Amino acid sequence: MTNHETGTREQWLAARLDLLGAEKELTRPSCSAIADGFSGSVVHLANHDVTLSAVSRAPFAKLDAFKRRMGWSFPWASSYGSDFNFDFGVAHTKEEWAAGTVAYNFGEEDLRPAAGQEDSMDSFSQSIVGTDWQTFRSEGPGVSAFALQDGTVYHTYSAYSRGVDGLWGMYQWLDRAPLGRNETEAGFWWRRHDEYDNR
């Protein structure tokens, strides 16, 4: 591994926010899922001394069953009962939700539905993941990178929300297709590979 500058958490965050501005400028033109493509990337990453691993808060048995259903081969760990997802800013407590402001994507936002929209947001989240809006949005997508050098693990990168789009290879193809991501279609626009009808 090449030598890179290290710093305090505050120095890392300042440098990451500088990079975030450049990333947003780069991805803004293409911002007109759950994907099946991780497994195909694993072998290529491994040959560059990179390991892709997913972490979710569900119990391991549930993750393992879903992994088999999807035919995935990449490592997938359970953070069930730990603070891992909270430590990296992708999970929010009930108290944070009730306070109205959660820290996410290098900022603070209120994820609660606007007055009068609670039922429609609950219906939306029920249709895509089978749970209410608060449970659905108490977790958000995120990616973090780490480097192991001389027995020490360094946190090198994090991205959230649309910053995670680069992981889903299909987004790049859909963004160049005539209908784009087709996000205006009724219901949620993506499906798992075994949920599409055979049209």
pLDDT tens for each residue of 10-64: 998 888 888 888 777 766 544 443 444 566 677 788 888 988 889 998 999 999 9
CA 190 to centroid of chain Cα atoms:
15
- How many folded domains does the chain comprise? 1
Query: Would you give the end-to-end CA distance of the chain in angstroms?
Result: 48
In a domain, 92, yes or no: no
pTM: 0.70
In a domain, 133, yes or no: no
In a domain, 94, yes or no: no
Q: Which two tokens stand for residue 175?
A: 């963004």
Q: How far apart are CA 99 and CA 2, in angstroms?
A: 43
In a domain, 96, yes or no: no
In a domain, 149, yes or no: no
pLDDT band at 1 (very low <50, low <70, confident <90, very high): low
Residue span of the structural domain in which 20 resides: 1-80+162-183
In a domain, 13, yes or no: yes
